[in-house]
């Protein structure tokens, strides 16, 4: 059997939904595409995406989980390619205090969001 698929979305849990939405908009230009909330207010799902809408990042906020998430030694990350002046974007991320790791030899760096998820930043190919 041959199965054909395409990426749809990835999920991360966040402790402060508005803070995370603000971060992803300011740091990467991502915008809210759609939102779903539980009738009892126990959770909110917000799907954010780029201008092409080819992939979504689902931010999940859980009312009954106010404490920070324990990410442990997990080295998973999401990678973003940015268009424009890569050095200017990196400097902006540095000024905002978001850069958490940089490898100048490989010309890449990571920023971290309010919940300490790491996001790899690469120039557009």
Query: Of 68, 74, 77, which is closest to residue 114 (Cα–Cα)?
Result: 68
120 is known as an active-site residue: yes
Sheet holding 108-112, edge to edge: 78-82, 118-123, 108-112, 99-103
On whether the CB atoms of residues 101 and 118 are closer than 8 A, the answer is yes
CA 90 to CA 101: how far, in whole Å? 11
- The answer to whether residues 119 and 79 touch, using CB atoms and an 8 Å cutoff, is yes
* Active-site entry in 70, 75, 105, 120: 120
Catalytic residues: 120
């Amino acid at each position: 059997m041959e199965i054909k698929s395409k990426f749809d979305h990835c999920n991360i849990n966040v402790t402060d939904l508005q803070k995370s939405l603000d971060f992803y908009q300011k740091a990467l230009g991502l915008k809210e595409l759609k939102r779903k909330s539980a009738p009892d207010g126990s959770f909110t799902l917000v799907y954010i995406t780029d201008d092409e809408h080819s992939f979504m990042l689902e931010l999940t906020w859980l009312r009954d989980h106010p404490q920070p998430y324990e990410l442990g030694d997990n080295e998973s990350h999401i990678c973003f390619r940015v268009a424009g002046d890569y050095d200017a974007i990196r400097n902006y991320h540095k000024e905002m205090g978001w850069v958490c790791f940089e490898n100048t030899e490989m010309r890449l760096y990571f920023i971290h969001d309010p919940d300490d998820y790491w996001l790899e930043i690469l120039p557009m190919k």
